[in-house]
């Protein structure tokens, strides 16, 4: 095992690797050329291998040096991140990766809620990961999530922040062709597009109220379900936040009693005390009534705050 070395040794190694000579490295670091020589030699002695070789055109990395350069750059990135956080102290700073379903992303992005967050916390940046896939918070695929399903993982920390009812929708073209829907009993004679996600309650509801309805499409994303309904192939049960906002669809039945989507705000328990993540989490919780208006009912962006 090699002896411990000073971070400054790596700084000088990186400067030589990037500038190609000890003279240029010394200028970049504002030190003497002899200091660069001494630091490189000391680093090589401590790790027991040659990092650079001198050539007429300047300094060139050895094969070992090229391998170590990658690790040195990783150390540099970590040190810079450490310095930024140390300078900030407990002040939240950095990027928060937030994931949410495709269907609600537009509502969140178009609301003033995040703009207000950015104005209050200028050193924090929210980066959206928009997907219907359930990302793994434990492996940092995202830092914080809004999900339309209750958490089953005991390592997740969070709370319900909103809910939305479901109704039945269709395009005008479909209704002109197939006829109106007066009540639940009419569903049996219609074509339907089904949200074919495992254990989703809309499947059970449709099967119970319209067992003879003709299923013309099975969709495993909300985006696909909306597209199917808009295309005119049949009826579709949709969250009112989505169906009511779509100009290509008409609500024909609902809201459906006891059929709701509940939205949960979640972080991994390891991130509960991370200032940047907890700041956004607490901000959303503190503004939960605004979030409910964004996610639960039809409203314009101007009404969101």
Residues above pLDDT 70, as percent of the chain = 93
Q: What is the structure's pLDDT at 259? A: 87
Looking at the fold, whether 271 and 146 belong to one and the same domain comes out as yes
At 303, the pLDDT band (50, 70, 90 cuts) reads very low
Looking at the fold, whether 182 and 230 belong to one and the same domain comes out as yes
> Does residue 1 belong to any structural domain of this protein?
no
> Does residue 175 belong to any structural domain of this protein?
yes
Cβ-in-10-Å burial (0-12, 13-18, 19+) of 133 comes to: exposed
> Each residue of 256-269: b (16+ CB within 10 Å) or e?
beebebebbbbbbe
Nearest to 61 by CA among 74, 52, 69, 70: 52
CATH of the domain at 34: 1.10.10.10
Q: What is the structure's pLDDT at 212? A: 93
Looking at the fold, whether 57 and 201 belong to one and the same domain comes out as no
Q: What is the structure's pLDDT at 299? A: 38
Query: Region 121-144: what's the mean pLDDT?
Result: 89
Looking at the fold, whether 141 and 61 belong to one and the same domain comes out as no
d(CA 209, CA 68): 66
Residues of the domain holding 247 = 165-259
d(CA 33, CA 23): 6
> Does residue 2 belong to any structural domain of this protein?
no
Please count the structural domains in the chain.
Answer: 3
DSSP code of residue 42: H
CATH of the domain at 202: 3.40.190.10
Q: What is the structure's pLDDT at 304? A: 34
d(CA 255, CA 252): 10
Q: What is the structure's pLDDT at 204? A: 86
Q: Dump pLDDT digits (tens) for 79-132.
A: 877 776 665 556 788 899 999 988 788 888 888 888 899 999 998 999 999 988
Contact 167, 237 (CB under 8 A): yes
> Does residue 186 belong to any structural domain of this protein?
yes
pLDDT: is 3 or 300 the higher one? 3
d(CA 269, CA 24): 47
pLDDT: is 238 or 102 the higher one? 238
Looking at the fold, whether 116 and 241 belong to one and the same domain comes out as no
Looking at the fold, whether 177 and 216 belong to one and the same domain comes out as yes
Looking at the fold, whether 84 and 103 belong to one and the same domain comes out as no
Looking at the fold, whether 103 and 212 belong to one and the same domain comes out as no
Residue 136 has pLDDT above 60, yes or no: yes
Q: Dump pLDDT digits (tens) for 240-267.
A: 888 988 899 999 998 998 888 889 999 9
Looking at the fold, whether 21 and 137 belong to one and the same domain comes out as no
Residue 305 has pLDDT above 60, yes or no: no
Looking at the fold, whether 137 and 286 belong to one and the same domain comes out as yes
Q: What is the structure's pLDDT at 87? A: 55
Residue 300 has pLDDT above 70, yes or no: no
| pTM of the predicted model over 0.75 | no
Q: What is the structure's pLDDT at 295? A: 80
With residue 127 as reference, give the H or E element that holds it: strand 124-130
Q: Dump pLDDT digits (tens) for 175-189.
A: 999 999 999 999 999
Residue 67 has pLDDT above 70, yes or no: yes
pLDDT: is 297 or 149 the higher one? 149
Q: What is the mean pLDDT of the chain?
A: 86
d(CA 247, CA 230): 9
Domain boundary among 223, 243, 259: 259
Query: Region 136-148: what's the mean pLDDT?
Result: 89
Contact 126, 118 (CB under 8 A): yes
pLDDT: is 233 or 304 the higher one? 233
């Amino acid at each position: 095992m090699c002896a411990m070395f000073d971070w400054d040794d790596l700084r000088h190694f990186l400067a030589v690797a990037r500038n190609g000579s000890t003279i240029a490295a010394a200028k970049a670091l504002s030190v003497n050329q002899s200091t660069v020589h001494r630091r490189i030699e000391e680093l090589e002695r401590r790790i027991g291998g040659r990092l650079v070789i001198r050539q007429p055109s300047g300094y060139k990395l050895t094969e070992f040096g090229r391998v170590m350069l990658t690790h040195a750059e990783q150390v540099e990135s970590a040190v810079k991140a450490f310095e930024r956080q140390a300078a900030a102290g407990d002040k939240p700073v950095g990027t928060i990766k937030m994931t949410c379903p495709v269907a609600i992303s537009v509502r969140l992005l178009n609301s003033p809620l995040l703009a207000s967050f950015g104005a209050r916390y200028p050193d924090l940046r929210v980066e959206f990961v928009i997907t219907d896939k359930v990302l793994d918070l434990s492996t940092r695929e995202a830092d914080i999530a809004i999900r339309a399903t209750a958490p089953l993982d005991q390592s997740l920390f969070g709370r319900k922040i909103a809910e939305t009812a479901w109704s039945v929708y269709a395009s005008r073209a479909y209704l002109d062709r197939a006829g109106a829907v007066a009540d639940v009993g009419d569903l049996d004679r219609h074509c339907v597009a089904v949200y074919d996600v495992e254990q989703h309650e809309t499947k059970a509801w449709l099967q119970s109220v319209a067992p003879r309805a003709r299923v013309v499409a099975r969709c495993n994303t909300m985006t696909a379900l909306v597209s199917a309904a808009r295309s005119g192939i049949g009826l579709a049960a949709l969250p009112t936040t989505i169906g009511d906002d779509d100009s290509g669809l008409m609500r024909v039945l609902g809201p459906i009693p006891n059929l709701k989507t509940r939205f949960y705000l979640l972080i991994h328990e390891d991130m509960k005390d991370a200032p940047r993540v907890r700041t956004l989490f607490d901000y959303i919780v503190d503004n939960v009534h605004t979030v409910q208006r964004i996610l639960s009912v039809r409203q314009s962006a101007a009404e969101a705050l």
